[in-house]
Structure 1
Amino acid sequence: MVLAHFHGDELALLSIVKRYRIATIASQSKDGELMATVLKWLGAKTSRGSSTRGGVQALKGLLRLVKDGGNCSFAVDGPKGPLHKVKPGVFELSRMIHGPIYAAGVACDRAIHFPRSWNKTFLPKPFAKVIIYWVGPMAPVSKEIDPRNPDLALELEALLHQARQQALKFIADNDAQC
């Protein structure tokens, strides 16, 4: 299966790496090197590249990792944005592995925010409540469907925003009860 999320949510999603046997793509940048090291330390497998550098090789590498068993996590809005705009790579992958796509929405009650980063990354503080809300699945993309179809991107964007709203609502509802 493909676990789709937006850039910026990666640090909050680190907690699921081992449980779901995650494989993912990490960019060839310095930030990507750091992320790949952390992911490896947590038990994830990574393929290196991005849609702007080594994308085809990275996708092929991810395909090999998923075929060896496990699931993949995929930041769907590309290495440079625009933020929260789904790009076709996730649909290519779904089609190649014939895997459903689940949308992840992430929220936490206490975090360090990095507002100057393009992807609005946040790091949950120690002992923060982190909610990961899954929506889906979207059916695997069939061979007859063009992965660049904008309707696919709009559908997944809607699911991702719905998942994030549900995660935020869960945090807000629980804060109100305290």
Structure 2
Amino acid sequence: MQIFFELKEKIISFLLYYYIEFVYKTSKIEKIGRLDLLEDSCKDKFIIFIWHGDSYCYYPFLEGKKLNIITTKNKRGGVISRISSHFGYDVLRLPDTGGNGDYIFKVRDLINKKTYANLVMSVDGPTGPQHEIKNFALIMALFSKRKILPVTIEAKHKIELKKRWDKLKLPLPFNRIKIKVNDPFNPTKSDRKEKFITIKKEIKNVMESQIGDN
């Protein structure tokens, strides 16, 4: 049975990463904003915030860049891990639930001392609610002493899986895709004292804004 699940996972991953490559090759990709902050030459490294429902649209965006991606240890995370590895990203697989919380420090040490790369997080995942930023993502930024870099994406033509909690978006080929690297946010201990309420609202407003409106 385990062999069957692994084979299924491989086939699904294969189809998905070649499909998204085809989408990018046949589409007009417009990249705007603080792209300089994602260059390898940038001395600062960030926690990159994206929405879970947009995550599939991003994979080829930073292909070849040094990048860590957080996903879950369960079966959902298996496909994501394979796709991420295909595009050259390092995958950090964490449990869905917090457990004793020590993995926050393990991830911090890994990204700051060993890999020293930008870290991507689907900040309303892994189970939602949609577009509600989790405290863990902000705590991770605070503990690792990194700024938050919200990245947003718009695909003109897409399929939206509306029955899923995250309304997962699948971009179509021959598309127009716009990606914006927004200005960074710097979380502080004062933000934590107020349970990140204000900074969550500010980041959410940026991430929900239409790219052309900013």
Category of TM-score, reference length = shorter chain: 0.7 to 0.9
The match for 2:192 is: 146
Return the alpha-carbon distance in structure 2 between the equivalents of residues 155 and 93 of structure 1.
18
Bigger drift between 57-66 and 107-116 goes to 57-66
- What residue number does 2:125 align with? 78
Query: Could you tell me how far apart the structure 2 residues matched to 1:76 and 1:113 are?
Result: 19
Distance 1:55 1:16 in 2: 34
Q: Deviations over 1:17-76 (max 9, x none)?
A: 435422121112222111011101211111112452658355445324422221011111
Residue equivalent to 1:110: 157
More moved, 13-22 vs 49-58: 49-58
Which amino acid letter does the alignment assign opposite residue 46 of structure 1? V
Residue identity (%): 20
Unaligned runs of 5+ in 2: 1-45
Residue 15 of structure 1 pairs with residue 55 of structure 2: no
Q: How many residues align?
A: 166
| Secondary structure in 2 matching 1:9 | helix
> Aligned partners of 2:87 and 2:99: how far apart in 1?
24
Q: Give matches, 1:51-130, under 5 Å.
A: 51-52=96-97, 56=101, 58-67=103-112, 68-130=115-177
**C-alpha distance in 1 between matches for 2:189 and 2:121:** 20
- State the distance in 1 between where 2:183 and 2:64 align: 19
Residues 45-54 or 105-114, more deviating: 45-54
Bigger Cα displacement from structure 2, 108-117 vs 144-153: 144-153
- 8 Å Cα contact 1:23/1:65 also seen in 2: no
Measure the CA separation in 1 of the matches of 2:150 and 2:190: 22
1:138 partner amino acid: F
Query: How high is the TM-score relative to the length of structure 1?
Result: 0.80
Change (3 A) 1:25 1:54: farther
Helix, strand or coil at the partner of 1:16: coil
1:42 partnered with 2:95? no
- CA RMSD in angstroms, aligned pairs only: 2.4
Letter in 2 for 1:146: R
Aligned equivalents of 2:188 and 2:100: distance in 1? Answer: 21
User: Whose radius of gyration is greater, 1 or 2?
Assistant: 2
Residue matched to 2:202 = 155
Contact 1:25–1:62 (CA<8 Å) still a contact in 2?
no
For 1:115, what is the secondary structure of its paired residue?
coil
Query: Aligned pair in 2 of structure 1 residues 136, 30: CA closer, same or farther (>3 Å)?
Result: same
Question: Matched residue of 1:56: which SS?
Answer: coil
Q: Secondary structure at the match of 2:53?
A: coil
Q: TM-score of the superposition, structure 2-length normalised?
A: 0.68
Following TM superposition, by how much is the alpha carbon of 1:137 offset from its aligned partner in structure 2, in angstroms?
0.9
- Distance, in Å, in 1 between the alignment partners of 2:192 and 2:200 is 11
Query: Given that residues 28 and 53 in structure 1 are in contact (C-alpha distance below 8 angstroms), is that contact kept between their aligned partners in structure 2?
Result: no
Distance 1:55 1:19, change over 3 A: farther
